Amino acid sequence: MGAMNRRIIIASFVAGVVGVSAAVGGFAYFNRQEQARLDLGARACADQFAGAWSQGDVHGLTYVGQGADQVAASFKSTTQGLGTAPAKVTVASLTRAGDNASGKLSVSWTVGGNTRWTYPMAIQLQRNSNGVWGVVAKGGASMWANGLSPKAKLVATRTSGTRGDILDRNGTAILTVGTVYDVAIDPARANDATVTQLEKLLNEPAGSLVAKLHAAQGAKSSNAISVITLRDSAFQGLKTQLDALVGVVYPSRQQPLSTLARPLLGSFGPVTADAIKNGKGRYATGDYAGLGGLQAKYNDVLGGTSGFKVTSSDKPDLPLVQKAATDGKPITLTLDSKIQKAAEAALVGTGTVPSALVAVDVPTGDLLAVASSPEAGMNRALLSAYAPGSTLKVATTYSLLTKGLAPSTPVLCPASVVIEATTLRNYEHETLGVVPFSVDFANSCNTAFVGLSSGMGNSDVHDAAAALGVGAGWGNLLGVDGAFGGSIPVATSKVEKATTAFGQARTSVSPADLAVMTASVARGSYIQPALIRTPAVTGADRTPKPLDAKAAGQLRALMRLVVTQGTATGVISSVPGGPVSGKTGTAEYGAGNPPATHAWFVGWQGNVAFAVLVEDGKSGATVAAPIAATFLGDLQH
């Protein structure tokens, strides 16, 4: 009996032990579940905060210590100086202890184009009495970057290296970087009286700037009102008066400056929205770049690469992150500053009438001057297309001479000739009768060339012009976008063959074309022209292509006769510096009766070949040749 009772007691004890163990195991299991739930809650809160930061909107979260409105205002104030730079924020680590959790965020801003600014940022969480996790937002430090005070602001600034100069063939700067001042009006500080004084100081129309001030103030705009950009020399003369005008600001910056070849070099200014959109991160709002001409074409060379830095308003001299800008490199042109100046000075006399002058170095084929007027207009010296008129008789004559025509051959020069029911006349209806071809050439007799064209092939002028450089394909190899290398189509009828012979029909050239053609005659070979020395233009072939030596020699003598006995007699024959050879041209265009004309004169003196164009000029002899005389005369000083 005693033994049985012991067995019952032992069995009961074992059953009790099993029951207690089960209760303990169940408590542990549910405790692990609760801890896991708390861990997940804290992690979810941290992930939500990281995601909200990445989206740039931290308003809709739970915070401890501050309200959501305060946190959102702090985020905006601190980070708005980074502009539209995107952020990617993730939770790197998180440890929970009871109702508190702490960890690290990985913050990565994309700044300065495609560069990332990455740093760790501490995060603290706390669970409130309702069981809701929130981000702790209190204390004396910023939540958004390390080492910042709560009121500090982040500022991302683009930086630029020194822009490269544009040099001439002698290493002289044609375009160099200098200081300019952007005079502007601060609408928050300026008043009508101040702005009226500014109008008088800068010779702006009365009331024009005041109207802009009123418009900005009416729109409650805080953006500065741009007025004018002044070079340093002009600014220094006005600085005292500008200093006295409250609300007038004039931040300085560096800008390429030039007084030469402006249509060729192009402009420099704020980048456009399209440039920013298509720039693959190169440009940002507020950047400056070349906007046209060589400054735009070679902006990547001249401008180097932008850098950036991020600073805080409380420690502006201590960058939080930075990437150094790289300086631009110079580009070197074949131009000669002295010859370019002489070319531009010679065109001053044409006033507002469009004109151009291109000079070529005879030995090398380099472009020495590329001048277009007005200086604020287009680069017509290289980009425009005009009928060459009688200047193309140089190519026609080269073809005739290579096929056996002698300068002494008698040729009829009547007042008019009828070809396929089309009457072709001399410019002033003159007639020379039967005279040596040299006289016809010197006096630019159209009808003599019409008569000779009947024995020419349809492609003869085209082929001769190409041999001299017109239509030879160099336009795409000059290093200037849109440079026009000429077009002398193969004739398709007797009339077209005749009119092509004296530079009409479908013929078209740029002033540079004719300068290249003239240099070829003077040299005795065609050399592809060049404008850019560095960086090298790929694909260029500057090997001389010899002309027919006998024909080229005869042609040089004929072009000398134009100056001594022909259409340019007395206009350019007395220019100092050696003999001048040339050819006048008067090119008709349009449907007027009589048609309007452009004036040409092409030629060379010594090692300088040139072409002069004046739009709507009466004739090459009366309008273009005198400009050439002025140009050559200036070169002697």
Number of Cα atoms under 13 Å in the Cβ half of residue 286: 11
The reply to whether 303 and 451 lie within a common domain is no
Neighbours of 229 (CB within 10 A): 16
The reply to whether 261 and 387 lie within a common domain is no
The reply to whether 141 and 196 lie within a common domain is no
User: Which of the residue ranges 216-220, 337-341, 553-557 would you say has the lowest mean pLDDT?
Assistant: 216-220
Q: What is the CATH number of the domain that holds 629?
A: 3.40.710.10
Task: Return the percent helix, strand and coil in the chain, to nearest 5.
Answer: 35, 25, 35
The reply to whether 297 and 349 lie within a common domain is no
What integer pLDDT is reported at residue 267 of this predicted model?
A: 87
Residue 592 lies in a domain: yes
Q: What is the CATH number of the domain that holds 86?
A: 3.10.450
Where a domain ends, among 95, 125, 152? 152
Asked if residues 37 and 20 have their Cβ atoms less than 8 Å apart, the reply is no
Q: How many domains does the chain have?
A: 3
The reply to whether 196 and 237 lie within a common domain is yes
| Both tokens assigned to 208 | 């024009």
Q: Domain span at residue 380?
A: 337-635
pLDDT per position as a tens digit, 456-492: 999 999 999 999 999 999 999 999 999 999 999 999 9
**What is the average pLDDT value for the chain, to the nearest integer?**
91
**% of the chain residues with pLDDT over 90:** 73
What integer pLDDT is reported at residue 15 of this predicted model?
A: 47
User: Which of the residue ranges 61-75, 151-165, 615-629 would you say has the lowest mean pLDDT?
Assistant: 151-165
Triad 209, 210, 212: Cα angle to 5°: 65
The reply to whether 391 and 523 lie within a common domain is yes
The reply to whether 170 and 139 lie within a common domain is no
Residue 614 lies in a domain: yes
Residue 49 lies in a domain: yes
Residue 540 lies in a domain: yes
Pairwise CA distance, residues 413 & 435, whole Å: 7
What integer pLDDT is reported at residue 228 of this predicted model?
A: 93
Where a domain ends, among 94, 122, 152? 152
The reply to whether 185 and 256 lie within a common domain is yes
Q: What is the CATH number of the domain that holds 236?
A: 3.90.1310
Residue 278 lies in a domain: yes
Pairwise CA distance, residues 248 & 237, whole Å: 16
The reply to whether 257 and 148 lie within a common domain is no
Whether the pLDDT of residue 26 is over 80: the answer is: no
The reply to whether 380 and 483 lie within a common domain is yes
Residue 628 lies in a domain: yes
Residue 321 lies in a domain: no
| Both tokens assigned to 386 | 């005009």
What integer pLDDT is reported at residue 11 of this predicted model?
A: 47
The reply to whether 190 and 99 lie within a common domain is no
**% of the chain residues with pLDDT over 70:** 95
pLDDT band per the 50, 70, 90 thresholds, residue 565: very high
pLDDT per position as a tens digit, 85-121: 899 999 999 999 999 999 999 999 988 666 789 999 9
Where a domain ends, among 275, 299, 333? 333
Residue 512 lies in a domain: yes
pLDDT band per the 50, 70, 90 thresholds, residue 151: confident
pLDDT per position as a tens digit, 164-211: 999 999 999 998 888 889 999 999 999 999 999 999 999 999 999 999
The reply to whether 82 and 141 lie within a common domain is yes
What integer pLDDT is reported at residue 85 of this predicted model?
A: 83
